[in-house]
Amino acid sequence: MSTDMETAVSADEMMTVVAARALTDETVCFVGIGLPSTAANLARLTHAPRTVLLYESGTIGSKPARLPLSIGDGELAETADAVVPVPEIFAYWLQGGRIDVGFLGAAQIDRLGNLNSTVIGDYHRPKVRLPGAGGAPEIAAMAGEVIVIIRQSPRSFVDRLDFLTSVGYGVAPGDRERLGMPGRGPTIVITDLGVLRPDPETRELTLTQIHPGVSVDSARERTGWPLRVSEDLVETEPPTDDELRELRRLRATLEAPA
Amino acid sequence: MSTDMETAVSADEMMTVVAARALTDETVCFVGIGLPSTAANLARLTHAPRTVLLYESGTIGSKPARLPLSIGDGELAETADAVVPVPEIFAYWLQGGRIDVGFLGAAQIDRLGNLNSTVIGDYHRPKVRLPGAGGAPEIAAMAGEVIVIIRQSPRSFVDRLDFLTSVGYGVAPGDRERLGMPGRGPTIVITDLGVLRPDPETRELTLTQIHPGVSVDSARERTGWPLRVSEDLVETEPPTDDELRELRRLRATLEAPA
Amino acid sequence: MAELLALDEAVAELVHDGDSVALEGFTHLIPFAAGHEIVRQRRRDLTLIRMTPDLIYDQMIGAGCASKLIFSWGGNPGVGSLHRLRDAVEHDWPVPLELEEHSHAGMAARYAAGASNLPFGTLRGYVGTELLEHSEETVAAIDCPFTGETVTAVRALRPDVGIVHAQRADREGNVQIWGIVGVQKEIVLASKRSVVTVEEVVDELEPRPGAIVLPTWAVGAVAEAPRGAQPSYAHGYYDRDNGFYQRWDEISRDRDSFQEWMAEHVLTSAGVA
Amino acid sequence: MAELLALDEAVAELVHDGDSVALEGFTHLIPFAAGHEIVRQRRRDLTLIRMTPDLIYDQMIGAGCASKLIFSWGGNPGVGSLHRLRDAVEHDWPVPLELEEHSHAGMAARYAAGASNLPFGTLRGYVGTELLEHSEETVAAIDCPFTGETVTAVRALRPDVGIVHAQRADREGNVQIWGIVGVQKEIVLASKRSVVTVEEVVDELEPRPGAIVLPTWAVGAVAEAPRGAQPSYAHGYYDRDNGFYQRWDEISRDRDSFQEWMAEHVLTSAGVA
């Protein structure tokens, strides 16, 4: 269903649409702010109307009509089935094993899907001090599976993280089990170039899908390690008119006055 | 202010009035059901209107117009400033150190104010299986001080408890500190015969006050250990008309239909 | 998503012989109808878990459903003893009953730990008491790794089945509870399976002061059971039947009168006095 | 009983140089007015504690109030960096800032442990991360005494002063909060002293869906501060000023423009842009 709109699809839009598609219906989803929240709400407003969104501010089942700028906008509370204290959202709901999917971003990712959102450079003398962990380490550990959304570049797809904030598959297969993490870890990593999935054996992130107009070579160039490419590499279906229209409408609500 | 009503004062009424008097105003009080609840509400409705009552069902600041039969009657929730989950009432409010006074009853008490509300006889082959601990062990440990209400007899005032459910002063002075209990322990024990207070040195319960018409000998006879009597023994002021009227009005609400 | 089932279906499907089952409701919203259905379906060898066993467990114990009771206060509130519980403990009637007893604070911490998927909860409690001598499997000292202070750990409770009563559910199975909320949320989240009986199923759960909502995807089954908490109460629906609690003392004191009452009011019907 | 004070009195009385101070509010009800008053009273050497430092700590750090920050996520939500926080960490401006960082789950457990008067909280977290290498004083492995399983202990937080904003208080100092309640209750109960700023003081706190009440005897001081959470929001009173959050990126990027803004909007008045 390629359309006239397709030519104008931005890299962020492509990422967001693909991330939304990764959410199946009736999924209980713990969402971070930014692209994860946009993608999860896009899914809810298109093919997955019964997807349940939880935000770390304690809102359960939020159905925002406008995109929140922060994780705790009033809209999230007003449209929620329940609002609980922050200690409870982490203890009873995330740690309690009630979350099917966690949606995370990061500044850096390595080939085993581990994430850095803490610092670039030395911890005590950082080149860039990033916001830090937030809810990510426990979402990465406890959610049934994790969807990662991250722009792909040699600075973000690194051979070695400057800081390990959230565990993907650790340093070797079996690390999650050894660390007592009940979730399956990052099952899909969505970038502006394509989609990576962990190899069933080695857990190494492997390019399995590439967006229209992107070459495998450019994906390799924008990866800080020798990128493995699946033999069954497929091309991403471009966003449909419906997806794009809904996404753009959603994003416009972020700018509009209340 | 002795009155005509005085002659008709029952032992339970005397106990309840004396217990109510032991509560000063603006006290935050964690109350058990039965006589403690009656006494605390009597205090609230007479000399201590700003006393705050918490029940272990999670009601904070209950102001019942009718006496509750159970610890969780709807009246307690309806008249409360706040209703919180049961784990919270114990963790944040009692253990959090927010309670000035805990009000406890028991089946047995020993000379160091330790309480049994678990069994009479052998634990595994009990003569009488009592209801058990409930909130008592932690109230006894954590409340700023504890008021005990208990009918005095050789079966209740025992040389050796059949079971130690809640710690008063343990087996020797300093035990509370050793056990890490922040509260001061039972500072007053109110019975149908009089009032006992712990000796400042030995912590042994000592008769310091006796109700009108009760002899010291009868108190000794109804105590399962050689009862110490204070040199400054005083006689209890009989209930005033106001106290009795309010108490009887309160108790009548327990029987009346809702 | 919660299944909306008839109560007898829910019990048949979710409660099995030998299960650990918690019917909770702290004096409020006690799931009598569900307990009676368990009696009618003649479940046996249950480990019954409840902070305050109350009349419902007195009935279930007297009916022979339980081989073990985990609890913290086993009386008839404001009235006296639970005679069927006492008869089981004191005379093994109708079957022996193993006890595991705790304080309220300990039970609440155990439920909260279960809901939090932690192996233990922590509190300041039990120290200096003889409860410790009978609870080595479930209560232990634990040292703070930072201050060295010793506090108390209690083993998490993760019942096979958690059962509570609530005021309302909507047609999707979202559950709304208000008034004294007790440990209703904790037990539903701590249990492997759960059943919520409700006064009524409604189109929409209008927000109310003091209300909590359990989302449908956190609940196993919802079953409509009007007056299903009677003789306890459902805030906003009916009051506690204090008279029945007082009458129970007489009914339950004697094995025969207990059995007659059960035969008449539980075994042959879906209601309660 | 809480004292009803003017905000400047409350800060003068309860917040001292060198204190550990937590101004909480999880994106909602952030106590900006109280933070600005602390800046105006030129408190120094504070240990600032907050899950999401947000603009208020960016301002307090840039104004030189803090020598240490305990936090879990230090960004401008939906916008980007906190430039004053970064300048302090990356270039020691205006003074060096020590960091102690955690995850949200860890901070929440630390507050809950503090409110519960426990020396530590327990969670499944931090394992496998480098956060552990920088938090030996506050995060440690702990073994379950029943199952042997290793989980994570975090040191309880008991700040000298906890400060939150709320919608309302009554004249006795009882406080009512609704909407996203975050860790407002935990921080008031965990702290040795507390200040609650409110939109308004009213005669009566009418019950509302989703509202919690902090009783006056659990609160230190209540100070009226209308619009005191702006540019964050107060559910039922005013919306979040998302535009200001976006403009702050520009204002705060440069030391001079930051100082000009603070001089104009904080140091000379009681308001905020």
pLDDT (tens digit, 9 = 90+) per residue, D161-220?
A: 999 999 999 999 999 999 999 999 999 999 999 999 999 999 999 999 999 999 999 999
For residue C164, the surrounding DSSP H or E stretch is: strand C161-170
Average pLDDT over residues C176-194: 98
Whether this prediction's pTM lies above 0.90 is answered by yes
Q: Is the confidence at residue A2, as pLDDT, over 50?
A: no
* Strand positions, DSSP E, C9-155: 20-23, 46-49, 66-71, 75-76, 80-81, 98-101, 120-123, 139-143, 150-155
Average pLDDT over residues B218-247: 96
Name every chain A residue with its beta carbon within 8 A of the beta carbon of D77: 33, 69-71
Summarize pLDDT for B4-33 with one digit per residue, the tens: 554 579 999 999 999 999 999 999 999 987
Average pLDDT over residues B37-52: 95
Summarize pLDDT for D59-101 with one digit per residue, the tens: 999 999 999 999 999 999 889 999 999 999 999 999 999 999 9
Looking at CA atoms only, how far is residue C139 from chain B in angstroms?
14
Q: Is B56 a catalytic residue?
A: yes
Q: What's C28's DSSP letter?
A: B
Looking at CA atoms only, how far is residue D213 from chain B in angstroms?
6
Name every chain D residue with its beta carbon within 8 A of the beta carbon of C142: 142, 145
Name every chain A residue with its beta carbon within 8 A of the beta carbon of D103: 133-138
Average pLDDT over residues A42-49: 95
Q: What is the dihedral of CA A209, A212, A217, A219, to 10 degrees?
A: -60
Name every chain A residue with its beta carbon within 8 A of the beta carbon of D128: 141, 164, 167, 170, 175, 179, 181
Buried b (16+ CB within 10 A) or exposed e, A221-234: ebbbeebbeeeeee
- The pLDDT-based confidence of D104 (bands split at 50, 70, 90) is very high
Buried b (16+ CB within 10 A) or exposed e, C212-240: bbbbbbbbbbbbbbebbbbbbbbbebbbb
Interface residue C119 vs chain A (CB under 8 A): no
Residue whose token pair is 């969780």: B72
Interface residue D71 vs chain A (CB under 8 A): yes
Looking at CA atoms only, how far is residue C156 from chain D in angstroms?
9
Q: What does the H/E/C string look like for D222-238?
A: EEECCCCCCCCEECCCE
Name every chain D residue with its beta carbon within 8 A of the beta carbon of C144: 119-120, 153
Residue from D58, D71, D82, D104 whose CB has the most chain A CBs within 10 Å, to mutate: D104
Distance from C-alpha of D109 to C-alpha of D152, rounded to nearest angstrom: 11
CB contact under 8 A, A96 and C116: yes
pLDDT at A255: 65
Q: Is the confidence at residue C142, as pLDDT, over 90?
A: yes
Average pLDDT over residues A226-246: 96
Cβ atoms C129, B165 nearer than 8 A:
yes
Q: Is the confidence at residue B173, as pLDDT, over 70?
A: yes
Name every chain C residue with its beta carbon within 8 A of the beta carbon of B123: 130, 134
Chains that touch D (3 or more CB pairs under 8 A): A, B, C
* CA dist A49 → A52, A147, B74, D94 (Å): 8, 19, 39, 50
- The pLDDT-based confidence of C273 (bands split at 50, 70, 90) is very low
- The pLDDT-based confidence of A8 (bands split at 50, 70, 90) is confident
Interface residue A39 vs chain D (CB under 8 A): no
Helix (H, G, I), strand (E, B) or coil at C13: helix
The DSSP secondary structure of A163-205, one letter per residue, reads S--B-SSTTSTTHHHHTT--S--EEEEE-SSEEEEE-TTT--E
Beta-carbon contacts of residue C86 (< 8 Å; ≥ 6 apart): B128, B129
Q: Is the confidence at residue B195, as pLDDT, over 50?
A: yes
pLDDT at D270: 53
Helix (H, G, I), strand (E, B) or coil at D186: helix
Q: Is the confidence at residue A3, as pLDDT, over 70?
A: no
Residue (of A20, A33, A11, A42) closest to A252 by Cα position: A42
CB contact under 8 A, C189 and A82: no
Of the candidates B6, B13, B56, B221, the residue annotated as catalytic is B56
Summarize pLDDT for C41-92 with one digit per residue, the tens: 999 999 999 999 999 999 999 999 999 999 999 999 889 999 999 999 999 9
Q: Which residue of chain A has the CA closest to C219?
A: A98
Residue whose token pair is 């299944």: C3
pLDDT at C271: 45
* Strand bridging mode A115-116 / A108-109: antiparallel
Q: Which residue of chain A has the CA closest to D28?
A: A72
* Chains A & D: contacts with CB separation below 8 Å: 174
CB contact under 8 A, C218 and A95: no
Q: Is the confidence at residue B256, as pLDDT, over 90?
A: no
Interface residue C150 vs chain D (CB under 8 A): no
Task: Choose the closest CB to C183 out of B87, B118, B129.
Answer: B87
Distance from C-alpha of C53 to C-alpha of C73, rounded to nearest angstrom: 7
Beta-carbon contacts of residue A145 (< 8 Å; ≥ 6 apart): A100, A101, A102, A183, A184, A185, A186, A187, A188
Q: Is the confidence at residue D271, as pLDDT, over 50?
A: no
Interface residue B41 vs chain C (CB under 8 A): no
Name every chain D residue with its beta carbon within 8 A of the beta carbon of C118: 122-124, 151
For residue C247, the surrounding DSSP H or E stretch is: helix C242-253
Residue (of A161, A154, A151) closest to A113 by Cα position: A161
Half-sphere exposure of D54 (CA within 13 A, CB side): 29
Buried b (16+ CB within 10 A) or exposed e, A134-156: bbbbbbbbbbbbbbbbbbbeeeb
Residue (of B90, A91, D139) closest to C124 by Cα position: B90
Summarize pLDDT for C99-127 with one digit per residue, the tens: 999 999 999 999 999 999 999 999 999 99
Interface residue D188 vs chain B (CB under 8 A): no
Task: Choose the closest CB to A61 out of C116, C189, C215.
Answer: C215
* pLDDT averaged over every residue in chain C: 96
Distance from C-alpha of C242 to C-alpha of B257, rounded to nearest angstrom: 9
Sign of CA dihedral D151, D154, D155, D158: negative
Interface residue D132 vs chain A (CB under 8 A): no
Of the candidates A6, A13, A56, A78, the residue annotated as catalytic is A56
Name every chain D residue with its beta carbon within 8 A of the beta carbon of A91: 105, 108-109, 112, 123
Task: Give the count of beta carbons closer than 10 Å to the beta carbon of residue D214.
Answer: 26
Interface residue B128 vs chain C (CB under 8 A): yes
For residue B229, the surrounding DSSP H or E stretch is: strand B228-235
- What does the angle CA C92 – CA C60 – CA C132 come to, to the nearest 5 degrees? 60
Residue from A88, A92, A94 whose CB has the most chain C CBs within 10 Å, to mutate: A92
In this predicted complex, what is the ipTM? Answer: 0.96
Task: Choose the closest CB to C119 out of D141, D147, D209.
Answer: D147
Cβ atoms B130, B221 nearer than 8 A:
no
Looking at CA atoms only, how far is residue A40 from chain C in angstroms?
18
Q: By mean pLDDT, which of B66-75, B94-103, C62-71, D5-14 is the weakest?
A: B66-75
Q: How many residues does chain D have?
A: 273
Looking at CA atoms only, how far is residue A60 from chain C in angstroms?
8
Interface residue C189 vs chain A (CB under 8 A): yes
Residue whose token pair is 């083993």: C155
Q: Which residue of chain A has the CA closest to C208?
A: A82
Average pLDDT over residues B150-158: 97
Window A:185-214, CB contacts with D under 8 Å: none
Distance from C-alpha of D23 to C-alpha of A14, rounded to nearest angstrom: 39
Residue from D1, D158, D189, D216 whose CB has the most chain B CBs within 10 Å, to mutate: D189
Task: Choose the closest CB to A166 out of D77, D129, D242.
Answer: D129
Summarize pLDDT for A47-84 with one digit per residue, the tens: 999 999 999 999 999 999 888 887 778 889 999 999 99
Summarize pLDDT for B78-120 with one digit per residue, the tens: 999 999 999 999 999 999 999 999 999 999 999 999 999 999 9
Task: Give the count of beta carbons closer than 10 Å to the beta carbon of residue A12.
Answer: 15
Looking at CA atoms only, how far is residue C213 from chain A in angstroms?
6
* pLDDT averaged over every residue in chain D: 96
Beta bridge partners of D152: D123, D141
Interface residue A40 vs chain D (CB under 8 A): no
Residue from B95, B120, B129 whose CB has the most chain C CBs within 10 Å, to mutate: B129
Give phi and psi for A170, each to the nearest 5.
Answer: 70, -140
Name every chain B residue with its beta carbon within 8 A of the beta carbon of C128: 141, 164, 167, 170, 175, 179, 181
Half-sphere exposure of B243 (CA within 13 A, CB side): 24
Q: Which residue of chain C has the CA closest to D145?
A: C140
Residue whose token pair is 């009226």: D224
As separate numbers, helices (DSSP H) first and strands (DSSP E) second, chain A gives 8, 14
Summarize pLDDT for A101-119 with one digit per residue, the tens: 999 999 999 999 999 999 9
Distance from C-alpha of C134 to C-alpha of B133, rounded to nearest angstrom: 13
Q: What does the H/E/C string look like for A70-121?
A: CCCCHHHHHCCCEECCHHHHHHHHHCCCCCCEEEECCCEECCCCCEECCEEE
Residue whose token pair is 């989980």: D151
Beta-carbon contacts of residue A25 (< 8 Å; ≥ 6 apart): A47, A48, A49, A50, A51
CB contact under 8 A, D109 and A166: no
Chains that touch B (3 or more CB pairs under 8 A): C, D
